[in-house]
Amino acid sequence: MPASVVVAAGRLRQAIGRSPSWRGPNPLRFSSEPYPAQAAAVRDAFLSFFRDRHRHRLVPSASVRPRGDPTLLFVNAGMNQFKPIFLGTVDPRSEMAGFRRVANSQKCVRAGGRHNDLEDVGRDLSHHTFFEMLGNWAFGGEYFKEEACSMAWELLTQVYGIPKDRLWISYFGGDPNTRLNPDLESRDIWLSLGVPASHVLSFGPQENFWEMGDTGPCGPCTEIHYDLADGVGAPQLVELWNLVFMQHNREADGSLQPLPQRHVDTGMGLERLVAVLQGRHSTYDTDLFSPLLNAIQQGCGAPPYLGRVGAADEGRIDMAYRVVADHIRTLSVCIADGVSPGTSGAPLVLRRILRRAMRFSTEVLRAPLGFLGSLVPVVVETLGDTYPELQKNSAQIANLVSEDEAAFLASLQRGRRIIDRTLRRLGPSDLFPAEVAWSLSMSGDLGLPLDLIELMLEEKGMRLDSAGLARLAQEEAQHRARQAEPVQEQGLQLGIHALGELQHRGVPPTDDSPKYNYCLLPSGGYEFSTCEAQVLQLYTEDGTAVASVGEGQRCGLLLDKTNFYAEQGGQASDRGYLVRVGQQDVLFPVARAQVCGGFILHEMVAPECLKVGDQVQLYVDKAWRLGCMEKHTATHLLNWALRQALGPGTEQRGSHLNPERLRFDVATQAPLTPEQLRAVESTVQKAVGQDEAVYMEEVALAHTAHVPGLRSLDEVYPDPVRVVSVGVPVAHALDPASQAALQTSVELCCGTHLLHTGSIGDLVIIGERQLTKGTTRLLAITGEQAQQAREVGQSLAQEVEAAAERLSRGSRDVVEAQQLSKDVGRLTDAIDTAVMPQWQRRELQATLKVLQRRANTAVRKLEMGQAAQKTQELLQRHSGPLIVDTVSTESLSVLVKVVRQLCEQAPSTSVLLLSPQPLGHVLCACQVAQSATPAFTAEAWALAVCSHMGGKAWGSRMVAQGTGSTADLEAALSTARAYALNQL
């Protein structure tokens, strides 16, 4: 291979292994009549080419919010919406089942999860969290490699006018480990299209073999790369287009089997294509971004964008331009598709993106308040014609961005002061303390994302204590796991002697009434008041009272009052942080709060010294508290709905809730039926949809004694007691003549609750099991999680319907029947473990049980028929005491049936059959005649043959089977004959 090609191959490996920074030496130049390369024209030309020249159906982009696919945070590739076709689970009655040739431009987000470009955005000239993927697909063998390559070459060289000598090709060079041959078919197609052999390079499976996941459809891919150097020096290659040829299926055991139907799946990033066509070094220098970059400069008054990176980018101004421009596109697209910044999953990732954009806009670009929201119309102008949901939701997007921006700015300023103060007391070789970073990230409304903290430290030349951070993250995960368990976690406790000492000193119980000081804002958000308190006592981990605690010390904190909700009544403790009055730049993160004999003990790790007598301000974690409020109000509605569905005698046996989910134990005479579970959910949904007011009031305990229908647990309540009533004022609910408590949820409860039920969003019961005889435990989720669970359930229900339809049509052959049986089994496993409505799970499980029996019966009938045919063919060719031969069949099950039928029809004959499979694999089955044993055993016979093929065997004296791999089948047959003749 010439040296220049070797260098090119090295460049190509880098381009395949990572998305490179675009640093071409000169602006690109094409023919004398260049393509009109505005981004909108490039996109339209792609779609028109496939629609008009090659009869493809244009389909709209799917939402970036995955529908019914819990494996994804965001849609990150054009093929996501077509997964049912690739997996063979598409409903035959659906519109998608009719897709043959399809093209589109798909909105994609790669942030969080398996594909995560978030932390690279801004550092170079090419990474994005949001991008558009141009793709064309051929399903079910509509066309394959030759047509796909020809279309791609035609579009790039004839329509877009890219010089042919600037294009390089990579193809799959084979994999000896899996016995996969090189994809010479693709190589030859490119050569026939006129690509020079020096521009066609082969690579292994890591670069040129595409897999959907650990199992499922997969196949070789060929990629088209563009040379930025234009013949000046060594090639600088960037990937333009990936053509995937799905022709294999990765089985659960890791083996590859041929797909019954082959598919073409291609993807080309619009941003990179536009940069090539517009002769730009960077995707940010195209008209997809230039309007945003201009708006950023005008809105901030910053120096103009110059496209610098690394050390050349003084003050990281150009990096800030790229971050803000990329992130506001991502935010706009996601919010338009129904993903709003939040506290978990995709919403949490979006919140990180929003806060990262805020930080760069305010601290680096010195943007004014409300600046990010002002960029939304620019995004709508550039993308709205293609994605009309942006135009429809533009006002909502801008408002949401602006609200979060205003709320975060104060926190960002405080976070910066805390970092600066900490750095001043560190030596040059010290690591930034993990406890401080953790407190910044976990302290409620402060909530600086850890990646943002690391970036802020990196700018100051400081490294974070990653090992300490990992330890704290592990402790937090363990704490959350324990919270989900029935047994309450035991943290720091006040023993009998400590309580006695407090009582002896006349210390009054902690005033925790400020925990109820919150209100609903006109915007729909909640505002939680802070609380100023005095440190009365500090305790070490073993419960010893001390006057002060030092840096890094785990301790308990007793205050005269608090706004933290201490864990009780099944509601998880609040968490948050406190600061000393007058010293706002040191955060003391509070992990939990517990009730100990009327006193509230706050558990924390002190970042600095704290003393008895200090005045502090307390801040609850707003997102955590709101999550608990949602779940607690939902628990009350669930309790009421259960009584509606099961009768007034239904009794609660306990509950536990945190922001993630709620657990509810109820006394039942029998397990709940799917109909009852569905009715309970429906009742809760109705109350949520009506957005009923939630009333809370303290009343004399005696006033609650004779209210009909009032729900209370068998426990001691304080006097006065807090009453929570949904939809009906407390005074009216407690009027014995009103009967209101029979018509809605009214309970005695000290917990914190929503002020309107609408904030619950939705409720789905996702689990149900018998704890003991007569007690059922229900697990439920709310809000966005509940909506996703419904979508997962709907998606799985459609797959079950599709499987039933396929089964009713019958299978043409054994392979198709076996695949259907496997699909039913896979669906059963998926439904058993999916987060979905429990009533729907139970219904689908019952349906699948019937389908599995029918599918297995169909397989057996087809296998028996195929085996009978093979048996007759073999009997016509063989006679005597020994049959050793090959049989063409796709499964070991059929092979075993052929052996069995042969021995039934020729009882004195011993039989061993081999069946060659793809990629050199071989199946083996044998049975020895009764008269030949015990000297001659099937297990030993199969082992001898399979060992010769480098495989394994198993069985008994009479029957055995096995597998192996060989390219010389005749040698294996000779081994089988020789062994048998020696034994007979």
712 confidence band (pLDDT: 50, 70, 90): low
pLDDT in tens, 189-210: 999 999 999 999 999 999 999 9
How far apart CA 807 and CA 324 sit, in angstroms, is 52
How far apart CA 942 and CA 925 sit, in angstroms, is 7
Which of 737, 720, 754 is closest to 633 using CA atoms? 754
Based on the domain organization, do 257 and 306 belong to the same domain?
no
How far apart CA 345 and CA 107 sit, in angstroms, is 19
Main-chain phi, psi angles of 363, to 5 degrees: -85, -35
| Count of C-beta atoms within a 10 Å radius of residue 508 | 12
How far apart CA 29 and CA 791 sit, in angstroms, is 49
- Is 793 part of any domain? no
- Alpha helices per DSSP H over 83-201: 83-87, 145-154, 184-192
| Count of C-beta atoms within a 10 Å radius of residue 265 | 26
Are residues 268 and 135 in contact, defined by beta-carbon separation less than 8 angstroms? yes
**Is 115 labelled a binding residue?**
no
Which of 308, 302, 368, 287 is closest to 122 using CA atoms? 308
pLDDT in tens, 48-81: 999 999 999 999 999 998 887 777 889 989 998 9
490 confidence band (pLDDT: 50, 70, 90): low
| Count of C-beta atoms within a 10 Å radius of residue 306 | 10
Based on the domain organization, do 415 and 431 belong to the same domain?
no
pLDDT at 444: 52
**Angle value at C-alpha 55, between 53 and 56, nearest 5 degrees:** 110
pLDDT in tens, 122-148: 899 989 999 999 999 999 999 999 999
- In this prediction, residues 591-600 reach a mean pLDDT of 91
Asked whether residue 14 carries a pLDDT value surpassing 70, the answer given is no
End-to-end CA distance of the chain: 58
**Is 636 labelled a binding residue?**
yes
Based on the domain organization, do 636 and 601 belong to the same domain?
no
733: left (phi over 0), alpha (psi -120 to 50) or beta: alpha
Asked whether residue 559 carries a pLDDT value surpassing 70, the answer given is yes
Are residues 839 and 790 in contact, defined by beta-carbon separation less than 8 angstroms? no
Based on the domain organization, do 710 and 601 belong to the same domain?
no
CATH number at residue 683: 3.30.980.10
Q: How many CA atoms lie within 13 A of 1 on its CB side?
A: 14
The SS3 assignment for 953 reads strand
More confident: 633 or 503: 633
Based on the domain organization, do 62 and 141 belong to the same domain?
yes
How far apart CA 467 and CA 724 sit, in angstroms, is 46
- In this prediction, residues 837-857 reach a mean pLDDT of 96
**Is 632 labelled a binding residue?**
yes
- Is 186 part of any domain? yes
Based on the domain organization, do 215 and 298 belong to the same domain?
no
The SS3 assignment for 968 reads coil
Structure tokens at 129: 């969290």
In angstroms, what CA-CA distances link 119 with 128, 286, 488? 10, 22, 38
pLDDT in tens, 405-420: 877 877 777 788 888 8
pLDDT at 31: 35
pLDDT at 101: 97
The SS3 assignment for 767 reads strand
CATH number at residue 913: 3.10.310.40
More confident: 90 or 710: 90
How far apart CA 760 and CA 690 sit, in angstroms, is 11
pLDDT at 3: 42
**Domains in the chain, number:** 6
Q: Specify the range with the lowest mean pLDDT, choosing from 63-67, 422-426, 879-883.
A: 422-426
Going by their DSSP bridges, the two strands 921-927 and 959-965 should be labelled as antiparallel
Residues with Cβ within 8 Å of residue 277, at least 6 apart in sequence: 30, 34, 35, 37, 42, 160, 162
| Count of C-beta atoms within a 10 Å radius of residue 207 | 21
Based on the domain organization, do 634 and 763 belong to the same domain?
yes
Based on the domain organization, do 257 and 339 belong to the same domain?
no
pLDDT at 25: 34
- Alpha helices per DSSP H over 63-176: 83-87, 145-154
Are residues 276 and 240 in contact, defined by beta-carbon separation less than 8 angstroms? yes
- What domain range is 972 assigned to? 881-982
In angstroms, what CA-CA distances link 72 with 81, 112, 610, 892? 12, 9, 45, 35
In angstroms, what CA-CA distances link 272 with 79, 80, 131, 428, 798? 19, 21, 9, 42, 37
pLDDT in tens, 21-58: 444 333 333 333 445 689 999 999 999 999 999 999 99
User: Residue 519 forms beta bridges with which residues?
Assistant: 527
Based on the domain organization, do 150 and 249 belong to the same domain?
yes
- Is 580 part of any domain? yes
How far apart CA 323 and CA 304 sit, in angstroms, is 15
Q: In what helix (H) or strand (E) does residue 439 lie, and over which residues does it extend? A: helix 434-442
Based on the domain organization, do 63 and 177 belong to the same domain?
yes
More confident: 743 or 303: 303
Residue 720, preceding peptide bond in cis (omega within 30° of 0) = yes
pLDDT at 442: 62
pLDDT at 435: 78
How far apart CA 764 and CA 532 sit, in angstroms, is 39
pLDDT at 4: 40
- Is 760 part of any domain? yes
- Estimate to the nearest angstrom the gap between the alpha carbon of 13 and the chain centroid: 29
Which of 175, 177, 176, 173 is closest to 223 using CA atoms? 173
More confident: 874 or 608: 874
The per-residue DSSP string of 887-900 comes to ---S-HHHHHHHHH
- Is 21 part of any domain? no
How far apart CA 589 and CA 586 sit, in angstroms, is 10
- In this prediction, residues 102-112 reach a mean pLDDT of 93
Asked whether residue 231 carries a pLDDT value surpassing 80, the answer given is no
Asked whether residue 256 carries a pLDDT value surpassing 90, the answer given is no
| Count of C-beta atoms within a 10 Å radius of residue 197 | 10
More confident: 482 or 108: 108
How far apart CA 20 and CA 275 sit, in angstroms, is 14
Helices (H) and strands (E) in the chain, counts: 27, 32
How far apart CA 922 and CA 969 sit, in angstroms, is 9
- In this prediction, residues 895-916 reach a mean pLDDT of 95
Residues with Cβ within 8 Å of residue 133, at least 6 apart in sequence: 77, 78, 105, 106, 108, 267, 268, 269, 270
Radius of gyration for the alpha carbons in the chain, expressed in angstroms and rounded: 34
How far apart CA 122 and CA 119 sit, in angstroms, is 8
More confident: 170 or 176: 170
> Quick one: DSSP state of residue 158?
I
> Could you identify the residue written with the tokens 């008009």?
52
Going by their DSSP bridges, the two strands 526-528 and 545-546 should be labelled as unpaired
CATH number at residue 158: 3.30.930.10
16 confidence band (pLDDT: 50, 70, 90): very low
Are residues 685 and 679 in contact, defined by beta-carbon separation less than 8 angstroms? no
The SS3 assignment for 444 reads coil
In angstroms, what CA-CA distances link 911 with 272, 872, 966, 973? 61, 14, 20, 12
Based on the domain organization, do 567 and 644 belong to the same domain?
no
Based on the domain organization, do 66 and 211 belong to the same domain?
yes
Residues with Cβ within 8 Å of residue 85, at least 6 apart in sequence: 96, 97, 99, 139, 140, 263
Structure tokens at 407: 């709320």
pLDDT at 499: 87
Are residues 371 and 404 in contact, defined by beta-carbon separation less than 8 angstroms? no
The SS3 assignment for 360 reads helix
- Alpha helices per DSSP H over 484-611: 496-504
341 confidence band (pLDDT: 50, 70, 90): confident
Q: In what helix (H) or strand (E) does residue 103 lie, and over which residues does it extend? A: strand 101-109
Structure tokens at 336: 């338009």
How far apart CA 335 and CA 333 sit, in angstroms, is 6
- Is 824 part of any domain? no
- Is 778 part of any domain? no
The per-residue DSSP string of 234-250 comes to S--EEEEEEEEEEEEEE
- Is 830 part of any domain? no
pLDDT, mean over the chain:
88
| Count of C-beta atoms within a 10 Å radius of residue 496 | 8
CATH number at residue 542: 2.40.30.130
How far apart CA 401 and CA 324 sit, in angstroms, is 13
